[in-house]
Amino acid sequence: MTTHHDVCAYRRDREWWQDAVVYQVYPRSFADSTGDGIGDLPGILDRLDYLVDLGIDALWISPFYTSPLRDGGYDVADYRDVDERLGTLADIDRLIAACHERGLRIIMDIVPNHTSSDHRWWREVLTSEPGSPAWSRYMIRPGREESANEPPSNWRSVFHGPGWSRLILDDGTTTDYWYLHLFDSTQPDLDWSNPEVRSEFRDILRFWFDRGVDGFRIDVAHGLVKDPDPPDMDYDSMVETDILGVAPDAPYWDQDGVHDIWREWRVVADSYDPPRILCGEAWAPTPERLARYQRPDELHTSFNFDYLAAGWDYERMRESIDATVANHANVGAPPTWVLSNHDVIRHATRFGPTEDGSPVTKPTVVDDERGRRRALAATMFLLGLPGSAYLYQGEELGLPEVFDLPDDARQDPVWFRSKGTDTGRDGCRVPLPWKANEPSYGFSPQGRSWLPQPDVWRDFAVDQQQDDDASPLALYRRALAQRRSEPALGQGPMEWMDGAPEGALAMRRFTAEPGHPSLAIVINMTEATIHLPSSWGTDVVLASEGDIATLSDDASSHLVMGPETAVWLRR
Ligand code: TEU
């Protein structure tokens, strides 16, 4: 069946963010300039031309605000300053200017759901009384039972353990109150029903927009509004989903009230010339609920975790693409596509086959080579989809997840809160390898790195790939260059192609305007060689690693695709 998605409706007056390739920099792990083993803003500036050569359109930099770095910077102590270990305000000003000089946009990360417990607002709580303005900025509620010894509800933290902690003041007083922290106990949740909280964050947006930042990725965009009288939840009856963990219907995820906040923020973003953009990290339970975040007066884009969660699964990938494209077209917004970030197992490992076919969630027997081949094929297919694409630092090198970090090196609060039962996310945050034969593989001038790097990093280092046409880095560079040059990509509708061999997804991309050749984007998700219809031609524009060949006989020629490969065919 051919499904024709007319996604070009919003493309006639294309905006950069509608089909941009955005590269996520996790600053602690990108490049260190000072030698303290922690990546920093000058380290990004030193390697900006590497990103220009890669062919991206924009950087999204994870938080670098003043922070105790308990959660890698997603615990902010001062939203208007830079943590001294990561740089200075002058450094970010230099980086913004350098990006713009190179035609790159720069997107920052903002964390409105909670502050760090080091934030002045929280420090004020610890020296204030119940009912004070200080307390009203946070989700602080009275305990239950005798002496308030029970939390206001049974809500759980995403990072394991309870979602509430007893409020103990600076003078040691144990209050009859508890505070909510959906993440770590050092990340108290703000109360977004408080006008002062809303006003402060609009000012924070303006502070950075005035410095030239082109937009924000919004952390936990689905979580800011909670039921004001927290009810208990029946977690046991909840079906665990890939999205939102075990709490798909939690009274603290994806509440309708969050959309009022995004409408307020959109007004601020639109008040700039050029308008600034807002991208939501919204773990919504369905593509339809996700699309609500992209209504014309709300966010410009949101991460599509439904597609990320689909994994290397033909049916789920196709369903997710159909649902995403259709629901986004309904609200006139471009879809986004992402396979890796700083919170999930790198897809070069996550797509690896396991002994029993179960998803890769912890150190299991995976075939790294097949995982990497599948990941490259999946990315080549992703880059052919309509909308914008998000890449995570190091995926262009084919980096695998590092499962065997020494336990004493781990820093993710998930590891500590789970009492060592959940190894957390450090495995996808290991500092990047730049030079195979230098200490810390060129990450830091003193050879230090805040997480130990595995010996195999030598083989993945940038200097081992940059002159190798068969490397993942070369493939990403070719794909991004081709994507930029193809008017059919990002500008036009997509339709599934009839006649695709079993186990292959094949979509046709074309422009609404005549005269531009269309492209067939094909991925072979099977472990077998497949033969494409001769009518599809053999003009290969791009091919992932693996066997792709043209088979000819007297009458015609057709393309043969090896297992787990992807191609772009000009038609
Ligand atoms: O991630 C939080 C988040 O939205 C996910 O953890 C999601 O809620 C959960 O996985 C659903 O099962 C953001 C940042 O990306 C992450 O690095 C931070 O640790 C977290 O927020 C807290 O700021």
Residue 536 in domain: no
With respect to residue 105, please indicate whether it lies within any of the assigned structural domains: yes
Q: Which of 157, 180, 203 is the last residue of a domain?
A: 180
If asked whether residues 210 and 357 sit together in one domain, one would say: yes
Q: What is the pLDDT of residues 290-320, one digit of tens each?
A: 999 999 999 999 988 889 999 999 999 999 9
Which residue among 19, 75, 91, 281 is the active-site one?
A: 281
Ligand 1 centroid distance, CA of 183 (Å):
8
Q: Is residue 544 in some structural domain? A: no
User: Are 377 and 405 found together in one domain?
Assistant: yes
- What's the pLDDT at 13? 52
Would you say residue 3 has pLDDT above 60? Answer: no
The 8 Å CB, 24+ separation contacts for 39-46 are 39/86, 39/431, 39/443, 40/64, 40/85, 40/86, 40/87, 40/91, 41/82, 41/86, 41/87, 41/88, 41/91, 41/92, 41/94, 41/95, 42/87, 42/91, 44/95, 45/91, 45/94, 45/95, 45/98
Task: Count structural domains, the chain.
Answer: 2
Tokens matching residue 263: 């409408």
SS3 147: helix
Residue 437, amino acid: N
460 near 398, Cβ under 8 Å? yes
Verify that 266 and 345 share a domain, yes or no. yes
Burial class (CB in 10 A: 0-12, 13-18, 19+), 514: exposed
Q: Which two tokens stand for residue 28?
A: 């602690």
- Residue 317 C-alpha to ligand 1 middle, in angstroms? 23
Q: Which atom of ligand 1 is nearest to the CA of 413?
A: 19
Beta bridge partners of 5: 494
Q: Which of 284-288, 541-545, 564-568 has the highest mean pLDDT?
A: 564-568
Question: Residue 11's pLDDT is what?
Answer: 38
> Is the domain of 255 the same as that of 139?
no
219 tagged catalytic: yes
* pTM recorded for the entire structure: 0.95
Mean pLDDT over each residue of the chain, to the nearest integer: 93
Asked, for residue 550, whether it belongs to a domain, the answer is no
DSSP code of residue 325: H
Question: How does pLDDT run across 475-532, given as a tens digit for each residue?
Answer: 999 999 999 988 788 756 899 999 999 999 999 999 877 777 899 999 999 999 999 9
Residues 172 and 288 in one domain: no
296, two tokens: 């014309």
Q: Identify whether 152 is preceded by a cis peptide bond (ω within 30 of 0).
A: no
Residue range 151-167: mean pLDDT, rounded: 96
What CATH number has the domain bearing residue 416? Answer: 3.20.20.80
Task: Report the Cα 374 to chain-centroid distance in Å.
Answer: 19
- Alpha-carbon distances of 372 from 217, 304, 368, 543, 545, rounded to whole Å: 28, 22, 6, 14, 9
How far is 480 from 485, CA to CA, in rounded Å? 9
The angle that helices 258-270 and 195-209 make with each other, rounded to 10 degrees, is 30
34 and 150: one domain? no
Whether residue 150 is found in the same domain as residue 207: no
Asked if residue 263 lies in contact with residue 300, where contact means CB atoms within 8 angstroms, the answer is no
More confident residue, 285 or 432: 432
Q: Does any domain span residue 492? A: no
In angstroms, what CA-CA distances link 371 with 366, 545, 569? 7, 12, 24
From the CA of 261, how far away is ligand 1's center (Å)? 19
Please check whether residue 553 lies inside any domain of the structure: no
Is 74 close to ligand 1, i.e. is its CB under 6 Å away? yes
Place of tokens 């190179």: 102
pLDDT of residue 7: 41
- Does 78 fall in a domain? yes
Domain boundary among 472, 487, 507: 472
292 and 422 within one domain: yes
* Domain co-membership, 71 together with 172: no
370 and 444 together in one domain: yes
CATH classification of the domain holding 170: 3.90.400.10
The tens digit of pLDDT for each residue in 115-143 reads 999 999 999 999 999 999 999 999 999 99
Residue 25 located in a structural domain: yes
> Are residue 62 and residue 147 in the same domain, yes or no?
no
Rounded distance between C-alpha atoms, residue 408 and residue 426, angstroms = 12
Cα separation, 304 vs 286, in Å, equals: 10
142 and 81 share one domain: no
> 232 is in which domain, residue-wise?
15-115+195-472
Strand, helix or coil for residue 408: helix
Please tell me the distance from the alpha carbon of residue 107 to that of residue 118, in angstroms, as a whole number: 25
State which of 450, 472, 494 marks the end of a domain. Answer: 472
Q: What's the pLDDT score for residue 242?
A: 63
Kindly state if the Cβ of 344 falls inside 6 Å of ligand 1. Answer: no
Ligand 1 pocket check for 111: Cβ under 6 Å: yes
Pairing label, strands 530-531, 557-561: antiparallel
Catalytic residue among 32, 219, 401, 426: 219
